[in-house]
Amino acid sequence: MIKTTVVERVLRKELIKANTVINDEVFDYLKRYNGPFCSALKENVVVSKQNLIPLCQDTGMLEFFVFLGHKVVLEEPVETILTRAVKETYVANCFRTSVVDDPIFQRKNTLDNTPAVVHVFHTQGNQMTVKFLVKGGGSENLTRLFMLSPTATVQEISDLVVEVVSAEGRKACPPLNVGIGLGGTADKALLLSRLALTKSFNERNSRHCYAHLEVELLRRINELHLGYQGLGCGLSAYSVHIEFFPTHIATLPVAISFDCYLSRRGVVEFVDNGSYDG
Ligand code: SF4
């Protein structure tokens, strides 16, 4: 059994870290950036880490991707555990709570940043891997879904992605992390595009043709010269990741999700060693 207390303790630590300590990949790029507001951006990183205060006022809505092995036993539903970890972290650390209870009528803040969005994937084995995104509203609002004709060419899909980034990318605090979901059903494509955002910048699709498209799209997006904070200097995007899934003969869903320059994400692994005594 994997104890609830263990999962919560580890996740609380990871959620604080994701919000207050810049991830190493992002920092590597930021160190080399010398354009407008570079000092302020770098100082922000230092001050946040030293004082454990958020890197951005928008401390996001949490989206979890749980890969749950079939031999794993939990004390409670995983969604309950993750939601409690979010609640405790955000309340105890006074991180901004950014979730409202219903989307169009009252829009009343839930005051603890819950619920989180939880996706569960059932896998083989005794391991539970939890990936997460701290998803700010600015990048979330750029999410797009297109249902293209199945005859659409790779060039047309590539042009579409570049067009969206060119038109809207500045609104999401670039450099961006771009996740693309291709195929499946409409909802599957969107889910894949989110999952793509959890990958490391240098990770490439295992299928050569998709890996090549990722690299080509990144090249084209960086030719847009959005730059840090959309000010035209530095990178437009760190990375493009594509996830794909078989699809219906009559459809071609294309989903595009974005993350902003902070790329706040994490991954934690737990193993169920078969013990029930904790
Ligand atoms: S897009 Fe990212 S950096 Fe910009 S305000 Fe939102 S969370 Fe903060």
The tens place of each residue's pLDDT in the chain, 278 residues long, gives 999 999 999 999 999 999 999 999 999 999 999 999 999 999 999 999 999 999 999 999 999 999 999 999 999 999 999 999 999 999 999 999 999 999 999 999 999 999 999 999 999 999 999 999 999 999 999 999 999 999 999 999 999 999 999 999 999 999 999 999 999 999 999 999 999 999 999 999 999 999 999 999 999 999 999 999 999 999 999 999 999 999 999 999 999 999 999 999 999 999 999 876 54
| The residue count for the chain | 278
Measured N-to-C along each axis, helices 38-51 and 24-32 cross at an angle, to the nearest 10 degrees, of: 150
Predicted confidence at residue 278, as pLDDT, reads 42
Give this prediction's pTM.
Answer: 0.96
Task: Annotate 241-263 with DSSP letters as a single string.
Answer: EEEEEEE-TT-EEEEEEEE-TT-
Q: Which atom of ligand 1 is nearest to the CA of 139?
A: 1
Predicted confidence at residue 277, as pLDDT, reads 53
Predicted confidence at residue 274, as pLDDT, reads 87
CB of residue 61 inside a 6 A radius of ligand 1: no
Predicted confidence at residue 276, as pLDDT, reads 65
Residue with CA at minimum distance from ligand 1 atom 2: 260
CA distance 233 to 152: 33
The pair of three-digit structure tokens given for residue 211, joined into one six-digit string: 């890996």
Name the nearest CA neighbour of 163 among 185, 144, 191. 144
Predicted confidence at residue 275, as pLDDT, reads 76
CB of residue 58 inside a 6 A radius of ligand 1: yes
The pair of three-digit structure tokens given for residue 90, joined into one six-digit string: 């955000």
Query: Which residue intervals of 21-77 are DSSP H helices?
Result: 24-32, 38-51
Distance 189 CA to ligand 1 centre (A): 24
Question: Would you kindly state where each structural domain of the chain is located, as residue ranges?
Answer: 4-136+264-271, 137-259
Residue with CA at minimum distance from ligand 1 atom 7: 136
